[in-house]
Each structure stands twice: as C-alpha cells, then as structure tokens.
C-alpha cells in the first residue's frame, strides 16, 4: 500500500461543506471562511509512547487526536470547521489504519469538522499531528489573559479521571465498571466545544485542561497578571474516581494529572447564568475558586490554607 492508496482508502470522504472549494487531492485545500468571522488555528501532535500508550486501541488514538485539538478550539470560544492530518507511520498496517480512521471520523462527525488535507510519511515512530481551523466572531475569541480580581474560577465536567485512566492503562488494575469508566475518559475525552462557544459571550479568560488543572490554571492566571485561590473541596471529582482511589491520590490526579480536556475559565461569579448554561448543555460546571490581586495560586482545603505545589506535565525539563 503506497501513500496515495492510504489517502484514497482511509482519508478521502465526500463532504457537503460548500465552503470547501478544493478538497483533498490537490496541492492544497482551498477554503472559504465565513465573511464576518476571524479564523482560529490550532495544532497538536501526538507521539506514540509519549502522548498515548502503544497499546491504545487505534480507534481511540484517532478519536483522541481530533479531540485534543477541538479542546483548544473550544478554549478559544471558536467553532471548529476544517482539519488537516499529518501522519507518520512505521508501517502501513491495514488493520491499524482502518480503525484509526474510524475513530478519527467518529470525532469529526460528532463535532462537525471536515478533513481537508494532510501529509502521509514513513518514519521510525507513529506521530499524529492534527491541525484544526475554526472561526469566531471578531473580538469574541476567549484568551488566557482576561481574568480579573473578583472573578470566579470555574471548571467543566470532572477532573482527574483521564489521568487515573492513563495510569490504569500503564500499570493495570482489576477489571471493574469504575476502571472501565476511567480508562474511557482517557481514551475518549470530551471536547467542550459547545461550552466554549456559549461562555465566549461572558467569560473573561479560558484555558483547556491538558497538562493538569493546577498548572493550566497557573498559566491562565500568569497570562492575566493575577492570583487565584483554589478550594480543593470544590473540585469536581467523579464517584468512579473517589471510589477507586484515596482522596489524596484523587486530588493528585485532578490537580496535576492532565489529559482531562475540560475547560477552566473565569467570569463574574454570577452562578445563576452559569448554572442555567450547565443545565442547558448537560455539562457540569463547578465554581472552584476565585481570582484576586497578586500572583500564584493559594490552595484551600475547607477554607484553610493547604500546601500544594506540583507542576503539570512538561515535555522538556
Ligand atoms: P504533495 O506531494 O503535493 O504534498 P501529497 O501527495 O502528499 O501531496 O498529498 C496528496 C493530497 O492528499 C493532498 O491534498 C493532501 O492534502 C492529501 N493528504 C495527504 N495525506 C493525507 C492524510 N493523512 N489525511 C488527509 N489528507 C491527506
Ligand atoms: Mg504538492
């Protein structure tokens, strides 16, 4: 199977998007952005053995490669539209490619994003790079830098599950429904695209939680030039996680585990509007702390200072 056959067999699909003027097959895709919108571009690379275990089901690899990028689009408050896929493979395995493409298109369909191009090469390890283009109304993109003293700090969904799931994949655990649930949160994370688009109307700052809540919150606060307090008892921990591990371990997964792809944002602490939104979209949104002047994060446990400092995942130390 040469690269042209791989592309034709696994990645060329019909699309009804008339804003794609020239699709896969030429030297470049030609796209017609919405006239009254700005383009948003994100890219993320997944290296086998670094960003996912080699043993991960190929359909999950495909699904995850799209979702981790959609999560960045969500954090910008944008709508995802088109994506490109740069794929480096050790070998052209039919079984792997078929399942990988299946997972990739599952995510693409779920979030209405169309594959418009890419690159396929042979290399010494599996490397998957997805770029997504999205659009947003001028001036309404969410950034990391808008948090202001007095804001509440919010997070979607539950934190810690995906990191626990990854740890289970790496070290094993006795089979149970809770274990399956956590592994699935790693293999098939949710991208909070609908939440991102909705909060773009009123949130002051946002970031997606890819490297761990503590480290990602720290990045957002630093970019905004403010400090924050984090109430550990308010962290949304799933019943599956809390049944399976001790509270300290659950906190560790939640604060520095990463892989959650939830959204962390700040806004006026008007809980009513946010509660309504959470209910409307069917996604939990928890208020976990507040923004104040200064720098750094103060962790509180039931109102009392709690010494916690652990960096999120860093690629290079
Ligand atoms: P070129 O040699 O001009 O870079 P290629 O032969 O690599 O072009 O690619 C041919 C077409 O297939 C291009 O439109 C390219 O965007 C698309 N393509 C290549 N690899 C992929 C892939 N993995 N997924 C989707 N489209 C791809
Ligand atoms: Mg070319």
For 186-240, give the DSSP string: HHSPPP-HHHHHHHTTT-SEEEEESS-HHHHHHHHHHHHT-EEEEEGGGS---HH
Taking only the tens place, the pLDDT of each residue in 156-178 is: 999 999 999 999 999 888 899 99
Q: What is the pLDDT of residue 309?
A: 65
Q: Would the CB of 23 count as within 6 Å of ligand 1?
A: no
Q: Would the CB of 2 count as within 6 Å of ligand 1?
A: no
Q: Would the CB of 53 count as within 6 Å of ligand 1?
A: no
Q: Would the CB of 67 count as within 6 Å of ligand 1?
A: no
**Mean pLDDT confidence for 256-285:** 94
φ, ψ dihedrals at 177, nearest 5°: -60, -40
- What pTM, to 2 d.p., does this model score? 0.94
Beta-sheet strands, E only, within 274-315: 285-292, 296-301, 304-305
Q: What is the pLDDT of residue 310?
A: 58
Q: What is the pLDDT of residue 24?
A: 96
Quote the CA–CA distance of 207 and 123 in Å, as a whole number.
Answer: 33
The residue nearest atom 10 of ligand 1, judged by CA position, is: 25
Among all ligands shown, which has an atom nearest to the Cα of 119?
1
Distance 131 CA to ligand 1 centre (A): 14
Quote the CA–CA distance of 177 and 180 in Å, as a whole number.
Answer: 5
**Mean pLDDT confidence for 208-220:** 96
Pairing of β 296-301 and β 227-231 = parallel
Q: Which of 7, 14, 98, 126 to mutate to test the pocket of ligand 1 (most atoms within 8 A of CB)?
A: 7
The pLDDT confidence band at residue 294, using thresholds 50, 70 and 90, is very high
Quote the CA–CA distance of 192 and 70 in Å, as a whole number.
Answer: 8
**Mean pLDDT confidence for 249-259:** 93
Residue % of the chain over a pLDDT of 70: 97
Residue identified by tokens 């995906």 is: 162
Distance 118 CA to ligand 2 centre (A): 11
- Dmax over CA atoms of the chain, in Å, equals 62
Quote the CA–CA distance of 179 and 161 in Å, as a whole number.
Answer: 10
Q: What is the pLDDT of residue 174?
A: 85
Among all ligands shown, which has an atom nearest to the Cα of 114?
1
Q: Would the CB of 104 count as within 6 Å of ligand 1?
A: no
Centroid of chain to Cα 158: 13
**Mean pLDDT confidence for 229-250:** 96
* Per-residue tokens: 3: 């690269």
Distance 119 CA to ligand 1 centre (A): 5
Q: Is the pLDDT of residue 195 over 70?
A: yes
- Assign 3-class secondary structure to 41-81: EEEEEEEECCCECCCCCHHHHHHHHHHHHHHHHHHCCCEEE
Q: Would the CB of 120 count as within 6 Å of ligand 1?
A: yes
What's the mean per-residue pLDDT of the chain?
A: 94
The residue nearest atom 3 of ligand 1, judged by CA position, is: 27
Residue identified by tokens 């794929």 is: 87
Lowest mean pLDDT among 108-112, 142-146, 304-308: 304-308
Q: Is the pLDDT of residue 316 over 70?
A: no
Quote the CA–CA distance of 207 and 210 in Å, as a whole number.
Answer: 9
**Mean pLDDT confidence for 87-115:** 97
**Mean pLDDT confidence for 210-231:** 97
Q: Would the CB of 26 count as within 6 Å of ligand 1?
A: yes
Q: Is the pLDDT of residue 314 over 50?
A: no
């Amino acid at each position: 199977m040469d690269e042209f056959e791989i592309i034709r067999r696994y990645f060329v699909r019909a699309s009804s998007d008339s804003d794609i003027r020239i699709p896969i097959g030429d030297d470049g895709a030609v796209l017609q952005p919405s006239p009254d919108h700005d383009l948003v571009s994100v890219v993320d690379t997944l290296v086998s053995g670094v960003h996912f275990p080699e043993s991960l089901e190929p359909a999950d690899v495909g699904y995850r490669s799209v979702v981790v990028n959609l999560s960045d689009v969500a954090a910008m408050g944008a709508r995802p539209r088109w994506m490109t896929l740069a794929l480096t493979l050790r070998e052209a395995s039919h079984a792997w490619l078929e399942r990988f493409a299946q997972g990739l298109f599952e995510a693409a369909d779920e979030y209405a994003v169309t594959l418009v191009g890419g690159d396929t090469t042979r290399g010494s390890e599996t490397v998957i790079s997805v770029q997504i283009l999205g659009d947003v109304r001028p001036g309404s993109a969410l950034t990391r830098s808008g948090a202001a003293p007095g804001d509440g700090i919010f997070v979607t969904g539950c934190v810690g599950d995906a990191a626990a799931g990854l740890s289970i994949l790496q070290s094993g655990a006795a089979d149970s429904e809770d274990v399956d649930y956590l592994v699935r949160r790693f293999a098939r994370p949710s991208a909070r695209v609908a939440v991102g688009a909705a909060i773009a109307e009123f949130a002051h700052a946002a970031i997606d939680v890819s490297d761990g809540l503590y480290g990602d919150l720290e990045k957002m606060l630093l970019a905004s030039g403010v400090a924050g307090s984090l109430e550990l008892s308010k962290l949304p921990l799933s019943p599956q996680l809390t049944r399976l591990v001790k509270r300290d371990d659950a906190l560790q997964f939640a604060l520095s585990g990463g892989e959650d792809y939830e959204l962390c944002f700040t806004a006026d602490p008007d809980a009513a509007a946010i509660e309504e939104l959470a209910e409307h979209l069917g996604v939990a949104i928890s208020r976990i702390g507040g923004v104040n002047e200064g720098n750094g994060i103060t962790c509180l446990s039931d109102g009392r200072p709690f010494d916690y400092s652990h960096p999120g995942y860093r690629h290079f130390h």
